[in-house]
């Protein structure tokens, strides 16, 4: 799975600009699903048909957002420096000294105004991107207002751990893709809609409109979550490498007990290690899905991830594989 994860994480797909990552996923899954389409907002929706005559035939939605955080050029000054805004949760401190790459491949360096009196007052509005040009005209040859860039962070595999930018949420995309692979072999009773959603980082936007089109019986999001296993971290009972996490609560949803039990039962059946996730602050796609229509019982499987929203997000490949097994077992 890590080879796929490598390609997924290194492909461009800042929120609202998911075209490249969507292309990659389409090529990866198109021969393995029954239907596939891109909707008005850019969500990629793929259906794996089940057996309509099966007892308890249900409609599942599996949502993995394919967008990643990044920056957007908002102003170019006379000397060619680019001022920018965040797309999704970007910390000014994490951004200092980072490389960013625009969709067209142009690389820039993020730095901040030297006159800043105290680093505590650092804001994105005091920062800029330098692409090594000398004037506005020269910069505009490469970058225009409204162009987006992602943070650079190469893929490294070291033992069971992998580090890269955009693990949030290409790790989830890799899991969903792997679930399609598994189900291609095992078959499924249920209809399963795999949705690679857009603009999750901007407020769960794609998931909402996708859920409206599908109106599923149940929904499961696959996303990353924080861990509590680093030095002096906040109390959180999630550790890297201890298995995928079954979500209980975050600030967008309190997961439906039926979906939580469904996942627990699947993990026990297939002998997959798992942990429980209670995330304080932060949400995921099911937060928007569960209030759709007359209500959709929803839950989530999370991949424990350290240093989320940095160019060095770290996961365990074992957790990733187990997450795919867990989801496949639960929905099939």
Catalytic amino acids? 200
Q: Which of residues 268-287 bind other proteins (CB under 8 A)?
A: 276, 278, 280
Minimum distance, C-beta of residue 206 to other proteins, in the bound complex (Å): 8
Range 149-208, binding other proteins (CB under 8 A): 199, 202, 205-206, 208
Residue 293 binds to other proteins (criterion: CB under 8 A): yes
Rounded to whole angstroms, the Cα distance separating 124 from 96 reads 10
Question: What's the rounded Cα separation, in Å, for the pair 203 and 43?
Answer: 14
Nearer to other proteins, 85 or 154 (CB): 85
Among 48, 226, 256, 306, binds other proteins (CB under 8 A): 256
Give the SS3 label for residue 268: helix
Regarding 125 and contact with other proteins (CB under 8 A), the answer is yes
Kindly report the backbone phi and psi dihedral angles of residue 200, in degrees, each rounded to the nearest multiple of 5, phi listed first. Answer: -65, -40
Query: Nearer Cβ to other proteins, position 8 or 214?
Result: 214
110 binds other proteins (CB under 8 A): no
Instruction: Check residue 117 for interaction with other proteins (CB under 8 A).
Output: no
Query: Does 306 engage in binding with other proteins (CB under 8 A)?
Result: no
What pairing do the DSSP bridges indicate for beta strands 218-225 and 59-65?
A: parallel
Q: Indicate whether 77 belongs to the interface with other proteins (CB under 8 A).
A: yes
Q: How many residues bind other proteins (CB under 8 A)?
A: 50
Q: Is 304 among the residues that bind other proteins (CB under 8 A)?
A: no
Give the tokens for residue 299. 């839950």
290 binds other proteins (CB under 8 A): yes
Q: Which of 54, 145, 265, 270 binds other proteins (CB under 8 A)?
A: 145
Which tokens go with 168?
């949030």
Q: Using the rule CB under 8 A, which residue among 75, 79, 141, 269 binds other proteins?
A: 75
Return the exposure string of 279-312: e unless at least 16 CB atoms fall within 10 Å of the residue's CB, then b: beebbbbbbbbbebeeebbbbbbbbbbbbbbbbe
23 counts as binding other proteins under rule CB under 8 A: no
Output the smallest distance, CB 69 to other proteins, in A: 13
Work out which of 13, 16, 108, 299 binds other proteins, going by CB under 8 A: 16
Question: Rounded to an integer, what distance in angstroms lies between the CA atom of residue 90 and that of residue 242?
Answer: 28
Residue closer to other proteins, measured from CB, 256 or 325: 256
The CA distance from 287 to 252, in Å, is 4
Question: For other proteins, which stretch binds (CB under 8 A), given 49-57, 82-90, 162-170, 308-316?
Answer: 82-90
Binding site for other proteins (CB under 8 A): 15-17, 37-41, 43, 72, 74-75, 77, 83, 85-87, 125, 145-146, 199, 202, 205-206, 208-210, 212-213, 235-237, 248-249, 252, 254-257, 260, 276, 278, 280, 290-291, 293-297
């Amino acid at each position: 799975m890590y080879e796929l994860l490598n390609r997924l994480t290194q492909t461009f797909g800042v929120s609202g600009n998911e075209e490249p990552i969507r292309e990659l996923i389409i090529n990866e899954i198109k021969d393995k699903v029954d239907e596939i389409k891109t909707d008005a907002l850019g969500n990629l929706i793929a259906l794996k048909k089940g057996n309509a005559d099966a007892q308890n035939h249900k409609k599942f939605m599996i949502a993995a957002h394919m967008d990643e955080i990044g920056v957007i050029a908002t102003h170019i000054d006379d000397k060619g420096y680019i001022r920018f805004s965040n797309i999704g949760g970007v910390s000014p401190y994490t951004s200092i000294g980072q490389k960013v790459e625009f969709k067209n491949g142009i690389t820039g360096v993020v730095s901040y105004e030297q006159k800043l009196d105290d680093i505590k007052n650092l804001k994105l509005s005091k920062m800029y991107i330098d692409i090594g040009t000398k004037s506005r005209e020269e910069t505009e040859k490469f970058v225009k207002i409204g162009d987006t860039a992602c943070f650079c962070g190469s893929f490294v595999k070291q033992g069971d751990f992998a580090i890269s930018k955009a693990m949030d949420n290409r790790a989830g995309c890799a899991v969903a893709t792997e679930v399609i692979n598994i189900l291609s072999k095992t078959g499924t009773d249920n209809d399963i809609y795999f949705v690679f959603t857009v603009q999750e980082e901007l407020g769960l936007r794609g998931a909402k409109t996708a859920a409206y089109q599908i109106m599923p019986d149940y929904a499961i999001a696959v996303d990353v979550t924080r861990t509590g296993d680093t030095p002096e971290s906040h109390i959180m009972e999630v550790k890297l490498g201890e298995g995928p996490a079954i979500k209980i609560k975050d600030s967008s949803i309190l997961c439906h007990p039926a979906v939580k039990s469904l996942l627990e039962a699947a993990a026990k059946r297939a002998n997959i290690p798992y942990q429980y996730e209670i995330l304080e602050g932060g949400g995921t796609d099911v937060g928007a899905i569960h209030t759709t229509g007359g209500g959709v019982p929803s839950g989530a499987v999370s991949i424990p991830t350290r240093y989320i929203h940095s160019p060095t997000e770290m996961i365990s490949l074992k957790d990733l594989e187990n997450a795919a097994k867990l989801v496949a077992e639960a929905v099939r």
